Amino acid sequence: MSAKSPFLKGKPIRPEPVAAGISAADLVDGTFLAYNAARLREGCRLFVEKMLEDGVTVGMSLTGALTPAGLGRSCLLPFMKMGFVDWIVSTGANLYHDTHFSLGLNLHQGTPFLDDRQLRKEQVIRIYDILFEYDVLLSTDVFYRQVASLPEFQKAMGTAEFHYRVGKYVGEREQALGYEGGSILSVAHEYEIPIFTSSPGDSSIGMNIAALALEGNRLQIDPNVDVNQTAAIVWKARSNGKGSGLFILGGGSPKNFVLQTEPHIQEILGIADSGHDYFLQITDARPDTGGLSGATPSEAVSWGKVDPDKLPDAVVTYVDSTIALPLITAYAVSRRRPREPKRLYRHLEQWTADLRQSYLASKNSGGKGVSTKS
């Protein structure tokens, strides 16, 4: 009787022995058959087979010290250049530390088992097992202060505009130093990928902007712009394209910021919608400890963040991002052709204006909601 059970329709677990020269993508497909390895395989397939369809708009959130470990250059840049990510919400720290490389500054492999008192005496900074000179911070601070003091920055703006403008100067410094391949900010500028920072004061970039304000600098970061622009991206993706997909690395504020776009559209603006279509998260946090990093996609459904009809297209993989991201990158670049860049940055102003019109129409109709679907 058990052989006829619908629960036994899965393929038998009978992998081939791992052979020399196997590709990372074949390793995932052939041997990641159970437990969190199977969730990672499901995440790879969700990303490649559904989220990377040409019409889907893919947002990504970055949390944790990923760029100091080199994952910006090794993994995120291929995603950006191949059109696999269309907009990003990152901690300011990831962007700040990625800039070190563009300025010709070195970070070194090390060990976490060191005397931090001795490191302090020798002016060596430690990010777990990554080591670098204290002057790396000071030199990067000088760069951001010089750029933020330019005339074009003497106004209020959202973080997407700030990062786009900074990316131009990061790219110029890379060219001058002969740094090949680019960085998150310079490639985002080239491909017009908007990058937002949900907590702009919570990084060395924000601290340098704050210090300049004490000198009379007129640069102000306006979070209202970011909230409305990210919502406009998702609203257009849901109404004009094949949907919205989110690739979430870690949790925290960036995770909430990419997900809150739907409550902003539905709850606050009164525009009828049903949530994001695809949800892929890499996390090592549990859901029962109260941290956002562990919040599940089914919980997000209750907020209207994820479309309940698309819940099967939601995968959470409980694994370290520094392990999962290289594997997903290798899988994606092997299994999927590049997509045409959407260059969303150039559309932000118009799409936000369109969102405003829909909001006012919803408000004038008594808040009954204006559907995003045409």
Instruction: Residue count of the chain, please give it.
Output: 374
Q: Determine the 3-state secondary structure of 317 from DSSP.
A: strand
Q: What would the two tokens of residue 14 be?
A: 């009978």
Rounded CA gap, 58 and 309, in Å? Answer: 19
Continuous segment of H or E residues that includes residue 314 = strand 314-318
Q: What is d(CA 86, CA 195) in angstroms, rounded to the nearest whole number?
A: 9
Strand order in the sheet with 314-318: 195-196, 87-90, 57-62, 244-249, 278-283, 314-318
C-alpha distances out from residue 370 to 178, 272, 367, Å: 51, 5, 8
Catalytic residue among 305, 342, 368, 373: 305
Q: In the structure encoding, which two tokens stand for residue 102, read together?
A: 């563009």
**What backbone torsions phi and psi does residue 130 show, to the nearest 5 degrees?**
-110, 130
Q: How many CB atoms lie within 10 A of CB 200?
A: 21
Nearest to 58 by CA among 49, 47, 66: 47
Catalytic residue flag (residue 305): yes
CA distances from 271 to 41, 156, 256, 266 (A): 35, 28, 20, 5
Tally of helices (H runs) and strands (E runs) in the chain: 16, 11
* CA–CA distance, 339 with 223 (Å, rounded to integer): 30
Active site residues: 305
